[in-house]
Structures are given as structure tokens and as C-alpha cells.
Amino acid sequence: MSNIYGVAGHPIGHSLSPVIHNMLFEYYNIDAVYEKFDIAPQDFENTMDIMWKQGVKGINVTIPHKVKALETVDCLEPFALSVRSVNTIRFDGNKTYGYNTDGIGFIKALEKAGQSVENRKIAILGAGGAVNSVAKICMLKGAENVTIFARNIEKAQIVAEKVGTSCAILNEYKNYDYDIIVNATPVGMFPNTEECVIDEIKSGVFAFDLIYNPEKTSFMKLAEKCGSKAENGLWMLIYQAFEAFKIWQGINPDEIIAEKIYKRLNEVLNEK
């Protein structure tokens, strides 16, 4: 029987993770399937236990289960512990292991775009779940400084304190110097594609939108209009999945399958 992997969320219908992982299984000739599991918050812990006992090998975890997953696993890798959030579970023998691959996915996506956070000033818009990983990895990878800008300053302060960065109210970003600006809010995501969380971006910086639907977001259009380069979050999605695949299979996916997956995901997104 094929090994079973999957993604647990609520809701989960929109997830592109099965496309990525099932293409990886096929490419590397691995006898496994990757499915979506819609699990209500109150059922998460029990369902993970049942899955483990039934021989499921690994689960990706998405909204709203990332904190519950942290509390559920036996062992945590340091990054997941530091951001208090788990997006990948490995079921192994007598123990369950929790990881968070969002940060490394973000860094690899930046590298793919020819960017590095080292010695650079980073402005992050938003103070939600994704910001924890993005802000923390920027600090760990040697950013000169990281500032979290959010409409709710209390939330920004909680995240900033947790990951060791500074923070300010959203519109203050205009008074700060930055080399890379990251949109980590859902503003501009399909179907509200005309919306943008800010109205100006400095010239000559790099703008990264965590959103990947639409392919060119309002935030990216604004950056280009202001004379800056921009990229969407699709490579981040791919690379966080590749890190999970590496944890489960011990294989680092190559660039040939990466490009095939990128093309396929864009086709799927355009079909929607």
C-alpha cells in the first residue's frame, strides 16, 4: 500500500500542496500519495493520533492548526520552537516531530530572485502567523534590522517581542529606510485583486508579496511603478513544500522538477 502524506487545515479546499507533493512523488518514483484533510480545530489532536496509528508518514499543517500542532508533537526543531508554530509533522516510530519550513521557504524564494537579507534593512507589513517565520528567519540570516509594520500595534508588539525585532504602526513605514519590503497581509489576494495595503514604495528596493494569486499583485504593480523590482510568493510556497519533502524523504528536490511545478501551479491558478 502507498505511504500516505497530506495537509491538514480548515478550510483546505484551496490548497496547492497536493499538486506539489504528488508531482515530487512521481518525479522521484516514490510510492506515496498526498491528500487534503479538512479537520475542525477541536478534532485536530485526536485526528493526528489516529493518523499516526494508521501509519500516515507526514502531515503539513496550515491555518488554523499551526499552534495546536506545536503543542501536539513530542519533539520540536529549534526554528519551530522559536516561532511557536509548526507547519510540518513527521511521524516516526514512537515519536512525532514538528518543524516549520515557512522561514526557509521565504529565504530560498528571495535567493531565487537574486536577493539576500544579509546586512539589509527589512520592512514587513502585517503581524499575523506568517510574519513570525519571515521576521525570525531574516534576523537569523543576518539582516541589519527588521521592522514589523501593522495596523494593530499591540499585535505587532507581541510578534516583535517574540522574534526579537522592532515594530511600528503600519503607515510609519514611510518614515523608515528599507532595502526589502514584504507584504505579509492578505490584502490584494484574489478576488480582491485591486486592493493594496500601502500606497507608495521606495525606488530601487525589492518588494516581495507573500500572495501568489493573482500572479502580479497590486503590491507588485505599485513597486514596479515606483521603480522597484517585485516578486510574488509562489516560489516561497514551493520551497517550503520542498523543505517538508526533504524532512520526510531525505531528498533535496532539483531545479528541473522545481521549474515543472512552478509552471503547473501557474496553470492551476489560471484555471481557477
Q: DSSP class of residue 115?
A: -
Question: What is the C-alpha separation between 107 and 250, in angstroms, rounded?
Answer: 20
For residue 189, give the 3-state DSSP assignment: coil
Of 51 and 241, which CB lies nearer to ligand NAP in the complex structure? 241
Nearest residue to ligand NAP by CB is 128
Min CB(152)–ligand NAP separation in Å:
4
Sheet containing strand 121-125, edge to edge, reads 166-169, 145-150, 121-125, 180-183, 206-209, 229-231
Q: Which residues bind ligand NAP (CB under 6 A)?
A: 63, 102, 105, 126-131, 150-152, 155, 170, 184-187, 189, 197, 210-212, 233, 236-237, 240
Decide if 56 contacts 4 (C-beta within 8 A): yes
Point out the residues that are catalytic.
66
Of 85 and 249, which CB lies nearer to ligand NAP in the complex structure? 85
- Closest C-alpha to 88, from 80, 78, 99: 99
Min CB(93)–ligand NAP separation in Å:
30
Calculate helix-pair angle for 129-140, 102-112, nearest 10 degrees. 60
Give the cell for residue 192.
Answer: 480582491
Query: Could you tell me the end-to-end alpha-carbon distance of the chain, in angstroms, rounded to an integer?
Result: 32
Name every residue whose Cβ is closer than 8 Å to that of residue 49 and which is 6 or more positions away in sequence. none
